[in-house]
Amino acid sequence: MKVSKLFFRMWYYFRVGYSTYLSFLLGLATTLVTVYYLAITNIPMLQAVFPHFGIFVIIALVLGIPTACLIGWYHLKGSSLWESEIDIGVEANPYYYKMQPGYWLEAFTPLYLELLRGLKKILAKEGMLSEEEKKRIEDLEKKVEILIKGGYVGMPRKKINLQRRRQESD
């Protein structure tokens, strides 16, 4: 494995491990310590409710975990926040508009193209193909050929919406 490839792999693993696990745990511990020792110990009424750091941690976790779960559920299911994130990911990911390398590009997509061509021949020979259907199949063939050659088909929703707005304003 090349040194540069190994470096980028390790960089990716570091980012995932740090952002998902280490920073989460350190952030949680820092928040608990900061809130308790800077806020609660300086307010006598709260000091009476939480006389020890351990009690504060237990209560914070008992209340915080379900609250975080509810916020997470709302983010994914109860609002359009997650949908917006997915939309942005689709717009940014080139593999939604081009063929993935590997077996899809090398085997399955060429197979689908040959099946489509064979089906078109059979339907044309049997006289079961209207001009509209023939045009749709040819359009599909062109798109699959573009994908096999490494090109892009379709457009991100963002670009489609821009085109619609331009057409409506004309």
Number of domains in the chain: 2
SS3 state at 98: coil
Q: Is residue 164 part of a domain?
A: no
SS3 state at 62: helix
The DSSP 8-state label assigned to residue 52 in this structure reads: S
Residue 53 one-letter amino acid: F
**Contact at 8 Å (CB) between 29 and 57?**
no
Please list the pLDDT of the chain residue by residue as tens digits (170 residues).
788 899 999 999 999 999 989 999 999 999 999 999 999 999 999 999 999 999 999 999 999 999 999 999 999 999 999 988 988 888 888 788 888 889 999 999 999 999 999 999 999 999 999 999 999 999 999 999 999 998 888 876 655 555 556 666 66
Residue 66: domain span: 3-79
8 and 64: one domain? yes
75 and 7: one domain? yes
pTM: 0.57
What pLDDT does 91 receive? 80
What pLDDT does 110 receive? 94
Q: Is residue 165 part of a domain?
A: no
Contacts of 131 (CB under 8 A, 6+ apart): none
Q: Is residue 7 part of a domain?
A: yes
Residue that finishes a domain, picked among 31, 48, 79: 79
What pLDDT does 162 receive? 52
**Contact at 8 Å (CB) between 99 and 148?**
yes
Q: Is residue 109 part of a domain?
A: yes
